[in-house]
A and B are shown apart, each in its own frame.
Chain A
Amino acid sequence: MQKTKNERIVADNLADLYQKAANRFESLPAFATRENALQWKPVSFRELCNQGLDLATGLIDLGVEARDHVGLFGDNRFEWILSDYAVQFCGAADVPRGRDVSDNELEYIVTHAGIEVCFVETEVLQNRLLHMKQKLPGLREIIVLDPKAQVKEGVRKLKDILNTGARLRSEGDTRVFGRIKGIRPDDLFTLIYTSGTTGRPKGVMLTHANMISQTRNLPGIHNPNDRTLSVLPVWHVFERVIEMYTISFGGCTYYSSIQTLGTDMINVEPTFMASAPRLWEKIHEKIWKGVKSSHPVRQVLFHIAYFLSRQYKVSESFLNKRFLEIRKKPWWELMFLFPFHLVRWLIVLPWYGFFNAAVLERIRLSAGGSLAATISGGGALPIHIDRFFNYVGIPVLEGYGLTETSPVISVRPKLNLVVGSVGPPIKDTQVRILDVETGQVLFPNKDLPYEGRSMRGEIQVRGPQVMAGYYKDEELTKDAFQDGWFRTGDLGMMTHNDCLKILGRSKATIVLSSGENVEPEPIEMRLQQSQYIDQCMVVGQDQKSLGVLIVPVLEAFRLNGKQPDSLEDLVLNKEAVQVIRQEIRRLISISSGFKNYELIRDFRLLDRSFRVGHELTNLFKVKRHVVAAEFNNVIQDLFLNGSNKNM
């Protein structure tokens, strides 16, 4: 009985999934859109499916063929998912991108993907597309999602196509069901153009089989009582897979936004959520601020609670063998530590129990109180943030993947939370580690000690979620694979408890003139622990030593007793420079585990922060090549006359 409640829908393709979900969950809400804090508009699985079939019939009538590529430019809203339903029902694939797409990208994508029919979310997007119409001879139809938008001549409204489709279906048009029958598992469901951290957009071809394998293989126990809060852009495959997964178990997705996240968390009380590390950092900051502004007695209680929780959780994970095992711990060390942890666990247990109930529960309530699990992906979660959430009792399941792997390769399951790792590979997925220089297989390799665990190298993946290839780019596709394994380009290792640990992106590797290879990410993550440092990027390719570009936290500074007005004021301010210098020295030192050549020899403060869509990807990853180009003169200046100018 209990088992059938948590069952997920098994489907052949997304169109099949959407129909089966409607048959099983009927009038349960599938998606909800926010009108104001306490007023949301639900749409049921059945309604969504029917409207999707209507819209699909309308699209077929417009001449959309099976396996066509249909543009879908816009952000999270109900009409977006409705359009996706329709495109899948047509047997076509969508080519999604957010509102913040640049004109160049827009032109490139529409041309490269051969888009004839295109959904756009807003009036602005419609105007931008119309503006470049001459350059896009293939583009036949533009359909605007926003019902409030003023449409120009020759542009259609979603509502009209929906109505046409509904009329046709009521007159007995059943073409759409023929299309659904014709979908093959290796047909594309989407073509995602990634700008990623390097180079020009690549069209990642993801098939129905890719996505269905994810909804089947993601670990987790959910049922129609679950509420998923959505904040990441839906056109990103990470958010998309969470939505498809939510459909498969009958949960409802609530469309929130970064601005309203705080209140939405309290009102929706989500049980499940996906998010990027940057967002967790923000929430972490907010919680700390809340603690600091609370009553002094309560602050003390919080610190006691946090301390106890840390003692408890560390011992608990030791006793459950859930600690990060990068090096194989000898048995006698475990034997020696076991009684210590057992005693500590037992002593702390009742106190932890009390403080967990009385103090930490209030912290959890600020995140709605019902969060059973949250997934972090799209970048590395700083370890102190990771620990914080796990200690206060909001388990963060860090995952790992790329758009090319639709996207989840591995994720920490709730019952095997090894902080610092991205968990074991999910079902049906194989991972191997290759030596970057020699190309030798390090893991799994029977000839190496522990079959090559704890050896660092490039991560390669094989599994049902790996993409079909890059669209119209055989060379790039060939490069992306090696003997049938997908090359992620990320460095990592397999730990001794069979979890994957990510050590940085091999393409981000900085090679110093001394020939030393430096992974900038761990250094940057360490620096970001500082309350004074908002964003940073380590530079130093082909230089003698490392430098770092820093965006300071404006609010953290007080100059002559008052807060500075802008970042520009800080750049030349001696006091501020001194503070940052001390922070860098404190955080990046030999004693904190960094090697000599990893130490920062110089830095520059930047006068503006990195922006999403420009220097940052939508998941807040720094686009290194963009920053390098934008701040070229700063970097030049940094390395002008050797080092030791600032440190």
Chain B
Amino acid sequence: MEFPSQLLYAQDQALLAIMIFVIMLGMGSSLTVNDFKAVARSPRGVFIGFLSQFGLMPLIALGLSILLGLPPAFAIALILIGCLPGGTTSNMFAYFSRGSVALSISMTTASTVVALFMMPLLLNLYTVRFTSQISETMRAAGAEADFVIPTGNIISSLVLVLVPVAMGMILRKKSPGWAKTAEDTAGFVAIMVILYLILTAFIRHGGLFLQTPIQVYIATIGIGMAGFFFGYWFSRLVGMYPLFQRAISLETGIQNGPVSFAIILLSFNEPVQSQMLWLAILYSTFIVMSSSVITLYFRHKGKFDWDVYKNTQIHNRLFGNEYVTNYPKDFLPERLKRDPSQGTSPIQKRD
């Protein structure tokens, strides 16, 4: 397949860099030190989330790559996406899907830190067969060296991305007003830039959409959907409360796209860079749509248990922590009745 190298011009790369900065700054602006402490308060949820994010997701990516027979560069990109930490977008979706925002935030913060060593580890583990494929083609073309995953570069780009996050956290502490603005602007900027990238790609390389193998489309849409599906059922089977199931499901499926842009731009070179970038762009586009749909579905499905949770929470808030809400016998389904966390779940993070 002929794939255009130089997918992005220099000015696009600059734009992308600014976008990554703004988004990560927005992410930091929504965080406080307390969010890190909160991780310790709900270790079970965060641990289940960790297994789901770094256990299931990379496997889903690998499975899809093999199943669909993706070209190696795309496969590496998909696995890279599978190993990413969560982003702040998932917190917003968790909120609207009536999931636990607190857990979503805890998972985002925890996974961002853990990604520093988990990502390089998992990438090296799962991409072996694809890197060797690339090395063979490169050698056939006359190259001397083997293609290897640039582990050191990946770690340093991850650290680099964390700088604006830290800046955002400082901003939040110094000026909450600006921090809120940064938070709101970030989401908007992300959508604008992704649209711009898609549009420029369309104008410059009109045939790109047609050249892209159908498998890539299936993979980019499928990885998110599979993440939602397995995240939901995995957390359900281990007995999480519906509120947490929805948060874990969304957190698993939604990855921090901007981080993947940063890693691809800073750590990979042609001939793989453009293809990897293209897959990341497609994923970022499709994930917004699919998570919107899933969120609406969760919101509808979860109304009842959310109402129960909310009502008991407010009873405890107003009538004291010892107050016990007793519903009529046939009112709660078995699954909610058994749950020990009912009414005592961590207070939602809202401002």
Contact = CB atoms under 8 A, between A and B. Distances in A.
Contact of B177 (A40, A268, A295): A295
A290 to B, nearest CB: 13
Given A24-B328, A27-B326, A268-B314, A298 B181 contact: yes
A361 B327 CA distance: 30
Given A353-B292, A358-B92, A358-B187, A39 B318 contact: yes
A268 B318 contact: yes
Task: Report, as a range, how many residues of chain B touch the other chain.
Answer: 20 to 34
B40 interface: no
A202 interface: no
Contacts of A5: 304, 331
A359 B184 CA distance: 8
A571 interface: no
Interface core residue of B96, B311, B330 (most chain A CB under 10 Å): B311
B325 A28 contact: yes
Nearest to B314: A269
Interface string A39-71: 111100000000000000000000000000000
B9 interface: no
A359 B315 CA distance: 28
A354 B310 CA distance: 25
Nearest to A302: B184
B288 to A, nearest CB: 8
A297 B314 CA distance: 33
A225 B307 contact: yes
Contacts of B95: 361
A267 B347 CA distance: 13
Contacts of B177: 295
Contacts, number: 82
Interface in B291-320: 292, 304, 307-308, 310-311, 314-315, 317-320
B350 interface: yes
A357 interface: yes
B47 interface: no
Given A225-B308, A357-B96, A38 B318 contact: yes
A224 B308 CA distance: 9
B181 A32 contact: no
Contacts of A226: 307
Nearest to B305: A225
A136 interface: no
A357 B310 contact: no
B312 to A, nearest CB: 9
Contact of B181 (A1, A224, A297): A297
A226 B331 CA distance: 14
Contacts of A28: 325-328
B323 interface: yes
Interface string A202-239: 00000000000000000000011111000000000000
A592 interface: no
Contacts of A25: 328
A269 B330 CA distance: 25
Contacts of B350: 365, 369
A295 B317 CA distance: 31
Contacts of A27: 326
A525 interface: no
Contact of B188 (A38, A225, A354): A354
Given A297-B181, A358-B92, A358-B188, A224 B318 contact: no
A298 B326 CA distance: 42
Contacts of A227: 311, 314
A29 interface: yes
B236 interface: no
A26 B326 contact: yes
Interface string B124-135: 000000000000
Contacts of B331: 5, 223-224
A301 to B, nearest CB: 6
A636 interface: no
Looking at A1, A224, A225, the one whose CB has the most chain B CB atoms below 10 A away is A225
Interface string A386-408: 00000000000000000000000
Contacts of A301: 184-185, 188
Interface string B100-123: 000000000000000000000000
Nearest to B348: A369
Contact of B180 (A40, A267, A295): A295
Interface in B154-210: 177-178, 180-181, 184-185, 187-188, 191
Interface in A1-45: 1-2, 4-5, 24-29, 32, 38-42
A28 B310 CA distance: 15
Contact of A29 (B180, B315, B320): B315
B333 interface: yes
A354 B96 CA distance: 11
A224 B328 contact: yes
Interface in B38-85: none
A342 to B, nearest CB: 20
Contacts of A543: none
Contacts of B328: 24-26, 28, 224, 250
B318 A370 contact: no
A225 B311 contact: yes
A40 B319 contact: yes
A298 B323 CA distance: 39
Nearest to A369: B350
Given A26-B328, A223-B307, A225-B308, 17 more contacts: A28-B327, A40-B318, A41-B319, A42-B318, A225-B307, A227-B311, A267-B317, A267-B318, A268-B314, A269-B314, A297-B181, A301-B185, A301-B188, A353-B292, A354-B188, A354-B191, A358-B184
Interface of B: 92, 95-96, 177-178, 180-181, 184-185, 187-188, 191, 292, 304, 307-308, 310-311, 314-315, 317-320, 323, 325-328, 330-331, 333, 350
12 contacts: A5-B304, A26-B326, A28-B328, A29-B315, A223-B307, A225-B307, A267-B317, A295-B181, A298-B184, A357-B96, A365-B350, A370-B310
The list of the 8 closest CB pairs from A to B, nearest first, reads: A225-B307, A40-B318, A225-B311, A297-B181, A27-B326, A42-B319, A295-B177, A295-B181
